[in-house]
Amino acid sequence: MTAQDTADAVPELPATLWRDPEPKRGYDVVIVGGGGHGLATAYYLARNHGITDVAVVDKGWLAGGNMARNTTIIRSNYLLDASAGIYEHAMKLWEGLADDLDCPILFSQRGVLNLAHSPQDVREGVRRVNANRLNGIDAEWLDPRQALEICPILNISPDVRYPVLGATYQPRAGIARHDYVAWGFARAADRLGVDLIQDCEVTGIEVDSGRVTGVSTTRGLLTARKVALCAAGHSSVLAEMAGLRLPVQSHPLQALVSELLEPVHPTVVMSNAVHVYVSQAHKGELVMGAGIDQYNSYAQRGGLHVIQRQLAAALELFPIFARAHVLRTWGGIVDVTPDASAILGLTPIDGLYLNCGWGTGGFKATPGAGWCYADTIANGVPHPLAAPLTLERFATGALVDEHGAAAVAH
């Protein structure tokens, strides 16, 4: 075997990623939060709308929050029209993203199985598959044997505590390398003239007569015609600087990774009933996510019992994992709304825009959210796909209750 033969070799990353500019004194648009969504928003502002006088400011290193911590699952098989619309838009963008960004992102459309463990799960799964198909999203209902054909290490024995009774399958779903996605957006935005400013913490949002005028930061005041918040778990803290209260709570979400293993797991498996989602990354490590910790937290870590519970459930589904090893666990901060759907749109303050509340679904939405957010910022009205995701829905009751409707998160 030679180095050239190893399929898992790190792909050649771009030799130049981004400049490290000093912040200017003012911009057309300042995006607060240099995660995947912020970077994608900057890129699409420049690419789709020709708005390049843009700064993305981040308090730490680019894409160092949830973008660096997620389990990289990409799918669009959501039940409700509003969710399906924006996630499927994202999916279509994912499918051309490496070319668009001219950067490897290791997008692998290996499919995702969402397992059902009870007759109720089965009903919900079938309902979602049927809705997906009518929404133009690829989806199939599989019986346990068909699921086994997709994932040969799945335990479909009827004798386990919660047997697999079937699964939904989205063939176009998959995984991508999260860091490369962020860097691809960052590099492309940088090349179009966007300033990416790291180690620049926002300490205040400047508002004058109901209109935003800029942000104060640890690197000075940046004036802006428009300010776009894009800070996931820290959204509440930022919004409060502008006197806005959000229907968002921040929780830890943990994940873990194993050592590199010979390929055993060819797809992505999610089991909401027992809180497991797992894939095998292209290098060979098993990447698994857990359920969220129950309490509010900004600590980027959670309790071990959540991991223990998750691994117990994982071994019920995949006995073959028994002697794999956990190399690393970590936590991110997810911003959860009452209906488990995002908030994307305008705020009561002129020129201040809001994108948050993606909960556990932020990564897979990255290009779609960036696209719609950029459009909303550029035009000052919500993009049609984002229209159901406004703040007003909490007052009218028109929630996009994906969680309540299908109990499928992540």
Other beta carbons less than 10 A from residue 52's beta carbon: 17
Tokens (6 digits) for 193: 């003239």
Closest to another protein by CB, 108 vs 250, is: 250
Closest to another protein by CB, 10 vs 381, is: 10
CA torsion, ordered 71, 73, 78, 82, to nearest 10 deg: 80
Closest to another protein by CB, 124 vs 375, is: 124
Closest to another protein by CB, 128 vs 383, is: 128
Distances (CA, A) of 172 to 36, 139, 169, 212, 312: 21, 9, 9, 41, 29
Tokens (6 digits) for 330: 């970590």
Q: How far is the CB of 172 from another protein (least distance, A)?
A: 14
Contacts of 50 (CB under 8 A, 6+ apart): none
Contacts of 8 (CB under 8 A, 6+ apart): 260, 282, 283, 284
Q: How far is the CB of 321 from another protein (least distance, A)?
A: 5
Closest to another protein by CB, 100 vs 394, is: 394
Task: Please name which of 154, 149, 74 lies closest in space to residue 117, comparing C-alpha atoms.
Answer: 154
Q: How far is the CB of 309 from another protein (least distance, A)?
A: 7
Q: How far is the CB of 124 from another protein (least distance, A)?
A: 7
Check if the beta carbon of residue 206 is closer than 8 Å to that of residue 221. Answer: yes
Q: How far is the CB of 62 from another protein (least distance, A)?
A: 7
Q: How far is the CB of 135 from another protein (least distance, A)?
A: 4
Closest to another protein by CB, 99 vs 262, is: 262
- DSSP 3-state assignment of 199? coil
